[in-house]
Amino acid sequence: MKKTFAALAAATIAATAAPAMADLVVPNMSYRTGAYAANGIPYADGFNDYFTLLNERDGGIGGEKVVVPECETAYNTEKGVECYESTKGMGALVYNPLSTGITYQLIPKVSADGITLYTPGYGRTSAANGKVFEWVFNYPANYWDGASVAVKHLLDVNGGDLNGKKIALVYHNSAYGKEPIRTLTELSKKHGFTLVELPVDHPGQEQKSQWLQIRRDKPDYVLMWGWGVMNQVAIQEAVNIKFPMENFIGIWWSGSENDVGPAGDGANGYKTISFHGTGANFPINDDLKKYVLDAGKGSGAGDQVGTVLYSRGMYAAMTISEAIRKAQEIAGTSAVNAAQVREGFENLNLTEERLTELGLPDFAQPITANCADHGGPGSARIYQWDAGGKTWNAVSDWITSDADVLDPLVAEDSAAFAAEAGITERCN
Amino acid sequence: MPDQLLFAMEVTLNGLMAGVMYALVALGFVLIYKASGIFNYAQGVLALFAALTLVGIQQGQVPFAHLINAMTGMHVSHFGWTVPSILAIILTAGVMVGLAIVIEKLVLKHLVNQAPIILFMATIGLAYFLEGFGDVMWGADIKKLDVGLPQGISETVESVTDSLFGYGFFIDNLDIVATVVAVLLVTALTLFSQYSKQGRALRAVADDHQAALSVGISLRFIWILVWSIAGFVALVAGIMWGSKSGVQFSLSLIALKALPVLMLGGFTSIPGAIVGGLIIGVGEKLFEFTIGPMIGGATENWFAYVLALIFLVFRPQGLFGEKIIERV
């Protein structure tokens, strides 16, 4: 009787809890609840829908179905770590936690467990240095790239000269928000502009002091590193003080439809930096409609397709799937493990032709990763909000960050981490 | 006049306005605490729920649309009509009264005579439930709230101060509206509690539950009444804060702004909430303006609590709170 019960219990657990051994497990650490749900939902939907498309249209990747167990983090670091611990035993191949706080906690864990951590456009910037961060990848762009791209754009609109200009940085008073300060400080020395730092405490519902100061000091430009309600309030306050919106640029986490919506027409002209395209007019959208949405297999309510954050979730899933495909190619087997997937990430060669094949022409910049370079091209475009048409329009070509300034900073920061963690540089 | 003095005057004025916004949130806490001794942890979520409901009704959103779609395969989202703002506000106030009745029947009624900490814990549960319920009912997307309130710089204040001082002050029109609304609200609440039968009953319950019951005052009715009023105050706070940032789930965090106001003004005083709000608003803005730049800025959140604690050292019951003397 005992044996029968044990066998039954084992069979039940095997049938319900774990994916089939050959499946490719890519957990989706999402946040559909809490203060940041409005941003977490479209990202999670884009992430899920891309893998559903691969499963439904192509039978998965290399013939292996992709399983995407979703775990709710509520954008809470402790819950994020719990999600990691509870899903890694399922054979997880890669994690994309969508939180800089969770990323910092997971870096030592994934390094010990041998699982890839992929943080496109967030997380620890110096993880771009593959010599130190073996298991972490953050291509195609990081926060420092974003800061540099913003300054390069401002150089473009000022005839290459920012000397004597004043640029204010309104930032979330957290590790994330403080990321660009070092870069902008270096860039201010190089280009001769004055940097004014204006921190905003979490959550950022009250920013009167910061915007009164902006009204008094009259900076030429305002850059923003915000998240959640801070973005909406900042844009509304900028409208209130009649700050020229075309001189207000947000990082990619401050540039979604959610951020400009509450300010209505006043937000017209606001700019953001983005490392991927947006909208529902890419060829892949036809397949998404046919195989996922119309088939009733869409994630969530299915009403987020084409939004900025949905596109970003899709971008992350696309990059992960291409890295897995590369891993399968290198390993000569479709049932790759976590270590092999890391090899795929490190040897990823995502070309413009491949993006076109995937139905995403001009959606993003090509990536050629290698042992030392886990950060990618560091390119992004500037988009501007058209409140009338409710669309983000590209107003620049792809702008590549200033490697002369950034590379030494990445090397310095990663060297400090290596010394602290006792890591010997590889790729020599 | 020196520029720094003009800027300080502008900051002070804006601090007063911000204080009124904090006080609007604090008022809801005070009302419930006064009548029942409960610190209502769910007050911030009530403001969120009220604002969500207002936008939902105004825009003709189908409640529980995501749930209906998931269960039936339909694709409903809106009824196809919009409701005028005034009517939507009245209907939302009705929903808040309904919610007060449900809370009393399902939660409070069963906790009569329980220790205050039990009631406090119940409101924590209520906060989590309402947040999830609001999400399922109206969705988690950020909604623009437009009930016709003016926003942006007050041209009148700017031109008057410009002609007086040679520098035009910035005052947000929305803040001016919030101030007028807060004055009306406090006046109405004071008149209600002083001169109406229900108001006197409410004060009697606040003074002594047992004594109030012994003279025939229905505790259950008073609780429904006070939760309804707190729901209405939450609606007002939700409208003001939601107009600034859009209606979204972080709206519930405005409660954090009310706590130092309550500590300073006292948990049992309606004027205390207003005065406390004004002191916190001006104090944090002036501190940020004068000291903030020297210590890296972003001082407002913590300074509000420091200021409240300083006041507590000298008046533990808050500026207007009732001094509790327990004889052993």
pLDDT single digits (tens) A188-228: 999 999 999 999 998 999 999 999 999 999 999 999 999 99
- The stretch B94-114 carries a mean pLDDT of 92
Q: Cα separation of B210 and B199, whole Å? A: 17
Cβ–Cβ contacts within 10 Å for residue A279, how many?
15
Packing angle, helices B85-106 and B219-245, rounded to 10: 140
- Determine the pLDDT at residue A286: 97
- Determine the pLDDT at residue A428: 81
Mark yes or no for CB contact B252/A35 under 8 Å: yes
Top-confidence residue, A55 or A296: A55
A73 Cβ contact partners less than 8 Å away, ≥ 6 residues apart: A29, A30, A31, A79, A80, A83, A97, A98, A99, A102
Q: Cα separation of B282 and B301, whole Å? A: 13
Token pair, residue B258, equals: 């009310």
Residue B328 pLDDT class (50, 70, 90 cuts):
low
Note the pLDDT tens digit of each residue in A337-386. 999 999 999 999 999 999 999 999 999 999 999 999 999 999 999 999 99
Whether residue B319 is contained in a domain is answered as no
Domain that holds residue B139: 3-314
Kindly list the distances between the CA atom of residue B57 and the CA atoms of A292, B79, B92, B96, B201, in Å, as whole numbers in the listed order: 31, 10, 8, 13, 33
Handedness of CA A295, A300, A303, A305 (dihedral sign): negative
Going by CATH, does the domain composed of A143-274 fall within 1.10.132.10? no
Distance of CA B299 to the CA centre of its chain: 22
Q: How far is A34 from chain B (nearest CA, A)?
A: 6
- Mean pLDDT over the full length of chain B: 91
Q: Are A291 and A60 in contact (CB under 8 A)?
A: no
Top-confidence residue, B112 or A317: A317
Residues of A within 8 A of B244 (CB-CB) are 205, 233, 236
Place of tokens 């219990």: A9
Does residue A15 register a pLDDT over 50?
A: no
DSSP state of B172: B
Note the pLDDT tens digit of each residue in B221-277. 998 999 999 999 999 999 999 998 899 998 888 888 899 999 999 888 888 999 999
- Determine the pLDDT at residue B52: 97
Residues of B within 8 A of A206 (CB-CB) are 18, 21, 257, 300
Mark yes or no for CB contact B250/A233 under 8 Å: no
- The stretch A270-282 carries a mean pLDDT of 96
- Determine the pLDDT at residue A321: 98
Buried b / exposed e across B89-114, counting CB within 10 Å, b at 16+? beebbebbbebbeebbeebbeeeeee
Kindly list the distances between the CA atom of residue B5 and the CA atoms of A119, B26, B82, B286, in Å, as whole numbers in the listed order: 47, 31, 48, 11
Q: Cα separation of A40 and A313, whole Å? A: 9
Cβ–Cβ contacts within 10 Å for residue B272, how many?
24
Q: Cα separation of A242 and B168, whole Å? A: 13
- Mean pLDDT over the full length of chain A: 93
A341 Cβ contact partners less than 8 Å away, ≥ 6 residues apart: A93, A94, A116, A323, A324, A327
Whether residue B22 is contained in a domain is answered as yes
Q: In a 10 Å sphere around its CB, with 0-12 CB exposed, 13-18 middle and 19+ buried, how is residue B213 labelled?
A: middle
Note the pLDDT tens digit of each residue in B290-323. 999 999 888 988 999 999 999 889 888 888 877 7
Q: Are A324 and A53 in contact (CB under 8 A)?
A: no
Residue B96 corresponds to which amino acid? Answer: M
Q: Cα separation of B218 and B223, whole Å? A: 9
Least confident of A293-307, B54-68, B93-107: A293-307
Residue B249 corresponds to which amino acid? Answer: F
Q: How far is A307 from chain B (nearest CA, A)?
A: 12
Does residue A399 register a pLDDT over 90?
A: yes
- Determine the pLDDT at residue A301: 81
- Determine the pLDDT at residue A10: 47
Whether residue B322 is contained in a domain is answered as no
A69 prior amide bond cis, ω within 30: no
3-class SS of residue B178: helix
- Determine the pLDDT at residue A5: 46
Residues of A within 8 A of B73 (CB-CB) are 296
Note the pLDDT tens digit of each residue in A290-337. 999 999 899 988 889 999 999 999 999 999 999 999 999 999 999 999
The neighbouring-strand residues paired with A154 are: none
Residues of B within 8 A of A205 (CB-CB) are 241, 244-245, 250, 253-254, 257
* Domain A2-141+278-378+408-421 and domain A143-274 have a common topology: yes
Whether residue B327 is contained in a domain is answered as no
- The stretch A269-282 carries a mean pLDDT of 97
Q: Cα separation of B232 and B93, whole Å? A: 6
Does residue A7 register a pLDDT over 70?
A: no
pTM: 0.91
Does residue A13 register a pLDDT over 50?
A: no
Does residue A18 register a pLDDT over 80?
A: no
Mark yes or no for CB contact B153/A264 under 8 Å: no
Mark yes or no for CB contact A209/B285 under 8 Å: yes
- Determine the pLDDT at residue B118: 93
Whether residue B229 is contained in a domain is answered as yes
- Determine the pLDDT at residue A17: 46
Does residue A4 register a pLDDT over 60?
A: no
Residues of A within 8 A of B297 (CB-CB) are 173, 197-199
Residue A407 corresponds to which amino acid? Answer: D
DSSP state of B61: B
Per DSSP, the residues of B210-265 read HHHHHTT--HHHHHHHHHHHHHHHHHHHHHHHHHHH-B-GGGGGGHHHHHHHHHHH
Place of tokens 């104090």: B283
Give the end-to-end CA distance of chain B in Å, rounded to a whole number.
59
Kindly list the distances between the CA atom of residue B180 and the CA atoms of A236, B174, B240, B241, in Å, as whole numbers in the listed order: 21, 10, 12, 15
Find the CB nearest B245 among A212, A262, A264: A262
Token pair, residue A393, equals: 């329009």
3-class SS of residue B6: helix
Q: Are B253 and B237 in contact (CB under 8 A)?
A: no
pLDDT above 90 coverage of chain B, percent: 66
Note the pLDDT tens digit of each residue in A75-91. 999 999 999 999 999 99
Distance of CA B48 to the CA centre of its chain: 10
- The stretch B133-156 carries a mean pLDDT of 93
Token pair, residue B236, equals: 């007002």
Residue B327 corresponds to which amino acid? Answer: R
CATH class of the structural domain A2-141+278-378+408-421? alpha beta
Find the CB nearest B14 among A35, A208, A264: A208
Mark yes or no for CB contact B153/A242 under 8 Å: yes
Note the pLDDT tens digit of each residue in A134-161. 999 999 999 999 999 999 999 999 999 9
Q: Are B150 and B177 in contact (CB under 8 A)?
A: yes
Mark yes or no for CB contact B10/A212 under 8 Å: yes
Kindly list the distances between the CA atom of residue B194 and the CA atoms of A289, B36, B208, B272, in Å, as whole numbers in the listed order: 63, 18, 17, 16
Q: Cα separation of A254 and A44, whole Å? A: 17
- The stretch A105-116 carries a mean pLDDT of 97
- Determine the pLDDT at residue A236: 95
Q: Cα separation of B60 and B82, whole Å? A: 5
Q: How far is A159 from chain B (nearest CA, A)?
A: 32
Per-residue HEC secondary structure of chain A comes to: CHHHHHHHHHHHHHHHCCCCCCCEECCEEECCCCCCHHHHHHHHHHHHHHHHHHHHHHCCECCECEECCEEECCCCHHHHHHHHHHHHHHCECEECCCCHHHHHHHHHHHHHHCCEEECCCCCCHHHHECCCCCCEECCCCCHHHHHHHHHHHHHHHCCCCCCCCEEEEEEECCHHHHHHHHHHHHHHHHHCCEEEEEEECCCCCCCHHHHHHHHHHCCCEEEEECCCHHHHHHHHHHHHCCCCHHHEEECHHHCCHHHHHHHHHHHCCCEEEECCCCCCCCCHHHHHHHHHHCCCCCCCCCCCCCCHHHHHHHHHHHHHHHHHHHHHHHHCCCCCCHHHHHHHHHCCEECHHHHHHCCCCCCCCCEECCCCECCCCCEEEEEEEECCCCEEEECCCCEECCHHHHHHHHHHHHHHHHHHHCCCCCCC
Residue B34 pLDDT class (50, 70, 90 cuts):
confident
Note the pLDDT tens digit of each residue in A241-273. 999 999 999 999 999 999 999 999 999 999 999
Does residue A53 register a pLDDT over 50?
A: yes
Q: Cα separation of B43 and B38, whole Å? A: 11
Note the pLDDT tens digit of each residue in B10-33. 999 999 999 999 999 999 999 898
Q: Where are the domains of chain A?
A: 2-141+278-378+408-421, 143-274
Residue A20 pLDDT class (50, 70, 90 cuts):
low
Nearest to B217 by CA among B200, B230, B233, B234: B200
Q: Cα separation of B215 and B197, whole Å? A: 13
Whats the size of chain B, residue-wise? 328
A377 Cβ contact partners less than 8 Å away, ≥ 6 residues apart: A139, A140, A141, A365, A366, A367, A400
B151 Cβ contact partners less than 8 Å away, ≥ 6 residues apart: A236, A239, A240, B172, B173, B174, B243
pLDDT above 70 coverage of chain A, percent: 95
Packing angle, helices B173-195 and B3-36, rounded to 10: 30
Q: Are B134 and B48 in contact (CB under 8 A)?
A: yes
User: Which of B245, B253, B257, B295 should we substitute to test contact with A (largest number of A Cβ atoms within 10 Å)?
Assistant: B245
pLDDT above 90 coverage of chain A, percent: 90
Asked if A422 is an interface residue toward chain B (Cβ–Cβ < 8 A), one would say no
Give the end-to-end CA distance of chain A in Å, rounded to a whole number.
60
A415 Cβ contact partners less than 8 Å away, ≥ 6 residues apart: A132
CATH code assigned at B267? 1.10.3470
Q: Are A72 and A30 in contact (CB under 8 A)?
A: yes
Look at chain B and report how many structural domains it folds into.
1
